[in-house]
Structure 1
Amino acid sequence: MIFDKRRFALKYALIYGSIVGVVMLVPLMVYTRLMLGIHEAKTQNALMEQARNIVLQMESYPADGSEPFRFPRYAGFQGGLYDANMRPVFTLVPFTPPGFAPGYHTHGDYRYYVLPLPEGRYFGARYLVVSTRYDPSGIYLVALLVAGGIFATLLLLTWAVFRNFARPFEEVNRRLDDFIKDSMHEINTPLSIIQVNADLFARKYGSNRYIPRIKAAAKTLATIYNDMDYLVKKERMTYPKERIDFTKFLLERVDYFREVASLKEVAIETEVDAGVFVEFNPVRLQRIVDNTLSNAIKYSHEKGRVRVRLLQKGDDVLFEVADEGVGMKEPGRVFERFYREDRDRGGFGIGLHIVKQIVEREGVGIEVASTYGEGSRFTYTFHNKSE
C-alpha cells in the first residue's frame, strides 16, 4: 500500500531516459562515423604530403653522389624505399607491406601510402612507402564522453520530471492508506462484537441454524480483515521467526474453519503428523494456512471434501490442501494481485497474492496443480535447516 516516490521516479527515469538516449545515440553514431572518415582522410593527406617531401629531398640530392644521402625522418611517420621485387633498399617502416599497389592502404594499427617511382632514378628503388600509426582513440573517447553526458543529463531530467509527476499519486496513495487504516480500525470493533456475542448467544440460548451462519460469515470477514491488516503493516513491521508447533497450529486453524465449511456441508479431512515444527513467523504462517484453507472451502462444491495434509519429509515439512471443487482455468494466474477466477464467489483477489509474497520471501517451495471441473491442490514445502 506504500507508494515509493523515489523508486517510481528512478524506475521510469531509467526506462524513458534509456529509450530517448538510444534514439539520440543514432545521430551520435553517424557523427562518430563521419569523424572517423575525416580522420582517415587527414591521415591519407598527411602520408601523401610526407611522400612528396621525401621525393623532394631525393630530387635535391646531387646526381654525382658526392655527398651521403640522409633519408628524411619525420616525427610520427616512417618511410622506406623498395625495389621492383618488393625488397627493401632502405626502410624505417616497422612492418612488411602486404602489397605495393599505388595509393592508401590499411594494415592493422597502421596506415601506409605507396608511391611508384621512376625506374633507375632513386637509388634503384621502384616504390616509396610512408607509414604512420593510426589512433582514433581520441574520437571514441569524445563520443563516449558525449554519450555518457547525454545519458546522465537525460536521467537527471527524467528523474526530476517523474519525481514531480509522482507527487499527486503519492498524496492519493497516502490518503488511501489512511482511509484503509481508519476503516480497518472501525471494522475491527464491530467484527469482534459480532463474534463474541454470537458465541454468548449460542451458550445462553442454544444454537440454531442462524448462529453458525453468522459466525461463519464473521470468520470470513476476519480472514479478509487480517489480509488487509497484513498488507497495510508489512512494510512497517518486522516479522521475527520462532519455533512453531505446526501440528498444533494447523489443527487449530482447521477447527476455526470447520464452521465456515459447514455452511456448504464441506467435510475437512486431515492427515497430520504429530510433532511437526517449523521456524517461521506465526503471522505469516497464518496468512498461508488461512488463505489456502478459505480458498479451498470457497471453491468447493456443496457437500464436497477438502483434504489437509501435514507431513514430515526428512528436514522438510510438506503442507498440502486439496479440494474437489471447480478447479481453475488459468492456475498460472492465481497468485496475481486482484485476480479472481470466479467473481461470483467474492473476495478481493489479494489473499493468494499475499501468500506468494510470503513464500518467495521465506524460501518456501510452492506447487499448484488444478484441473478445471475437478479441483485444485496447493503444496507448500518448508525447508528446515538441519541442526
Structure 2
Amino acid sequence: MIEKSKNFILKISIFYTGIFFIFIAIPTYFYTNLELENYKNTQNRLLIEHAQIIQRAIYDFSNSKSDTFIFPKSFKFEATLLTKDKKVIYQTRNLNVNSNLKMSIEVELSNNRLNSKYLQLSKKISFDEVYFKILILSLGIGLFIFISIYFVIKASVEPYKKANEYLDAFFNDAMHELKTPLGIIQLNLEILENKQKKAKELERSINATKNLFLVYEDIEYLIKQKRVQYNKEDIDFTNILKQRLDQFESLASPKSIKFNVNIEENINLIINRTHILRIIDNTLSNAIKYSFKETIITINLIKKENHIIFSVHNYSNPIKNKKNIFMRYEKENHIKGGFGIGLNIIKNICQENNINIFLDSTEKDGTTFKYIFFK
C-alpha cells in the first residue's frame, strides 16, 4: 500500500510538472530567441573591438618611422587586409574559424602606409552555450516545480492516507467481531429449524443470515485481497459447486425458483478456493436476486479438452450496460439492494487467473454468465 501510494504521488507530480512545461513552452521559446540575439550582439561587439585594435595598430604604424608592422593576432579571429580592388594584402589563418557557423564584419580603413582599404574579420560562433544554459535553467526550474508539487501532494494525501488506515483497521476489527455472532445466529436458527415445524419467519431469518454471510465474505475479500497471498490449489470444482447449490436452494425457494443442474463429475481445477467460491457465490446470488418469480436457473459445469465451462442462466430484465456492470458500485437495479461489488470482485479474480468472462443478456433469452477456465 505504501509503495502504491508513493508511485501514485510520483506519477501525479510528473504529470503536473509536464503540464507546467507545456504552459511555459512559449515563454521559453521567446526567451531562447532573446538569449540567442544577445549572444550574437556580444560576438559582434567582440568583432568590432578587435577591429578597433587592428585599426589603431595600422594608424600607429602609419604615423611611425618603423619599417615593420606587427599585426595584432588572436586565436579567436581571422583577419584579412584588402586593397581598394579587394585584393588580399595580408591574411591570418585560424583553424578554429574554419566553420560554417561564423560571424563576419568588414571595416573601411583610412589612408595608411599598408595601402589597405578594407579590413575583414571573422569569428567562429556556437550556440551550444546558450542552449546549455537554457537546458540547465529549465531542468532547475522543472526540478524545483517537481519537488514542490511532490511535497504539496504528499502533504495533502497524508491525512487521507491516515484516515484510510484507520478505516481499514476499523473494518478489520468490525469484520472480526461480526463473524462470531453471525455464526452463532446461523447455527441456532438451523437447530430451531430441525426442532420445529417449518415456519416462514424462521425460513426468512435463515435466508437473511445467509445473505449477510455473502455480504460479509465479499467485504472480507475486498479488505484482504491486497494483503493476503491467495495460493492456488487443486480444487474439486464439481463437489464445491454442488455444496454451494445446496446452500442457495433455500434462498431461491421464496421466489419459487428452481435449479436445472447439469454438472459433470470429477472436474478438478487449479485455483484458490476463496477465488472460486467468490465466483460461484456472487454469480448464483445475482441470478436469484434478479430472476423473475417461478422461473428456472440453469447451472452448467462441463469439461472440454483444454478448458472448463461454468455457466449460469436465468430469466430477468436484460442488462443494458454490459461494460459498466463489472465496475465497482455499479448496479442495474438499485431497488434490489446490495453494494454493487460482487461482479467487480469476479472481474478482478478472473483477470488474476486468466479466466474468460462472457455475458449475454437479452429480453427474450434472459441472462447468461459464462466462465471459461483454461487448464
TM-score, length basis structure 1: 0.76
Q: Secondary structure at the match of 1:263?
A: helix
Question: Partners in 2 of 1:48 and 1:376 — Cα distance?
Answer: 88
Residue 347 of structure 1 is matched in structure 2 by 338
In the TM superposition, what is the alpha-carbon distance from 1:345 to its structure 2 partner? 0.3
Q: Is contact 2:263-2:300 (8 Å) kept? A: yes
Question: Partners in 2 of 1:69 and 1:270 — Cα distance?
Answer: 115
TM-score, length basis structure 2: 0.78
Residue 23 of structure 2 is matched in structure 1 by 23
Q: Name which of 124, 137, 141 aligns with 2:128.
A: 137
In the TM superposition, what is the alpha-carbon distance from 1:20 to its structure 2 partner? 3.8
Are residues 1:270 and 2:261 paired? yes
Q: Is contact 2:328-2:341 (8 Å) kept? A: yes
Question: Partners in 2 of 1:73 and 1:368 — Cα distance?
Answer: 86
Question: Partners in 2 of 1:325 and 1:281 — Cα distance?
Answer: 31
- Count, aligned residues: 368
Taking the TM superposition and a 5 Å limit, the aligned residue runs for 1:133-282 are 133-134=125-126, 136-282=127-273
Residue 35 of structure 1 is matched in structure 2 by 35
Are residues 1:326 and 2:317 paired? yes
Residue 308 of structure 1 is matched in structure 2 by 299
Are residues 1:293 and 2:293 paired? no
Question: Partners in 1 of 2:68 and 2:300 — Cα distance?
Answer: 104
Structure 1 residues 42 and 232: CA distance shift in structure 2, 3 A: same
Q: Secondary structure at the match of 1:139?
A: helix
Q: Secondary structure at the match of 1:31?
A: helix
Structure 1 residues 370 and 113: CA distance shift in structure 2, 3 A: farther
Q: Is contact 1:288-1:355 (8 Å) kept? A: yes
Question: Partners in 1 of 2:358 and 2:70 — Cα distance?
Answer: 86
Question: Partners in 2 of 1:78 and 1:380 — Cα distance?
Answer: 82
Question: Partners in 2 of 1:131 and 1:221 — Cα distance?
Answer: 86
In the TM superposition, what is the alpha-carbon distance from 1:343 to its structure 2 partner? 0.9
In the TM superposition, what is the alpha-carbon distance from 1:54 to its structure 2 partner? 7.9
Q: Secondary structure at the match of 1:275?
A: coil
| Most deviating of 323-332 and 20-29 | 20-29
Q: Which runs of 5+ in 1 are unaligned?
A: 83-87, 98-106
Q: Is contact 2:278-2:346 (8 Å) kept? A: yes
Question: Partners in 2 of 1:373 and 1:181 — Cα distance?
Answer: 44
Question: Partners in 1 of 2:236 and 2:312 — Cα distance?
Answer: 18
In the TM superposition, what is the alpha-carbon distance from 1:210 to its structure 2 partner? 3.8
In the TM superposition, what is the alpha-carbon distance from 1:227 to its structure 2 partner? 0.5
In the TM superposition, what is the alpha-carbon distance from 1:325 to its structure 2 partner? 1.0
| Most deviating of 236-245 and 194-203 | 194-203
More helix by share: 2
Deviation per CA, 1:110-148, whole angstroms, max 9, x where unpaired? 134375999xxx99x9996835252x2222222222222
Q: Is contact 1:335-1:353 (8 Å) kept? A: yes
Q: Which runs of 5+ in 2 are unaligned?
A: 83-87
CA RMSD in angstroms, aligned pairs only: 4.1
In the TM superposition, what is the alpha-carbon distance from 1:92 to its structure 2 partner? 6.1
Deviation per CA, 1:221-259, whole angstroms, max 9, x where unpaired? 111000111112222221111111222222222232222
Deviation per CA, 1:14-66, whole angstroms, max 9, x where unpaired? 4444434543555444322321222233344555666787899999999xxxx
Q: Is contact 2:51-2:107 (8 Å) kept? A: no
Greater length-normalized contact order (CA 8 Å, ≥ 6 residues apart) = 1
Question: Partners in 1 of 2:80 and 2:353 — Cα distance?
Answer: 74
| Most deviating of 68-77 and 38-47 | 68-77
Q: Is contact 1:21-1:154 (8 Å) kept? A: no
Question: Partners in 2 of 1:174 and 1:203 — Cα distance?
Answer: 44
